[in-house]
Amino acid sequence: MEATRAIDYKQLKLSSTDFEQNGFIPPKFTCDGSNISPSLTIEDIPAETKCFALIVDDPDAPKRDWVHWLVWNIPVTHYIKQNEVHGIQGVNDFQRPSYSGPCPPSGTHRYFFKIYALDSLLDLSANATKSQLEKVMSEHIIGFGELIGLYKKIK
């Protein structure tokens, strides 16, 4: 994506009733628990938004950013409930087209929940990867917000 385009984005507010910004994600939403997606609340949505895309990844993974969830063509909404998907899911780095919660091999990792407001639905195969999603949506991003959660695996 073009870095200069970021200045054109409207700021979305992304939050969760399940954990706070830079707070610890409860085990329920991780590999140590039920491994279900947390609830998300989206505010300050631009009027021209046609859909959302969501990327959840871990930049602290040993070799590279580790993708936990990809969803696009999410209908415009202010609330995504726990363990619900409305949109098309791509393939994460666990090779699954679903949410796969935090499961760091060691230490505390950061998990970035990134929401993108898009001005168009995306024509993208359901087996798409993060890089393919980013390429296709790059010209359609009109808003962006992120929520960061922390997790350390239970021993």
Domain spans of the chain, in order of start:
3-152
User: What are 119-143's pLDDT values in tens digits?
Assistant: 999 999 998 999 999 999 999 999 9
pLDDT of residue 3: 44
How far is 10 from 102, CA to CA, in rounded Å? 28
Are 100 and 85 in contact, with CB atoms under 8 Å apart?
A: no
Strands 88-89 and 51-58: unpaired
Name the CATH superfamily for 3-152. Answer: PEBP-like (3.90.280.10)
CB 11 within 8 Å of CB 145: yes
Residues of the chain with pLDDT under 70: 1-7
- The pLDDT of residue 5: 47
Question: Whole-model pTM?
Answer: 0.93
* Residue 99 to residues 34, 55, 92, Cα–Cα distance (Å): 11, 10, 8
pLDDT, residue 149, reads: 98
Q: Could you tell me if 142 and 9 are in contact, meaning their C-beta atoms sit under 8 angstroms apart?
A: yes
Query: Which pLDDT score is estimated for 1?
Result: 41
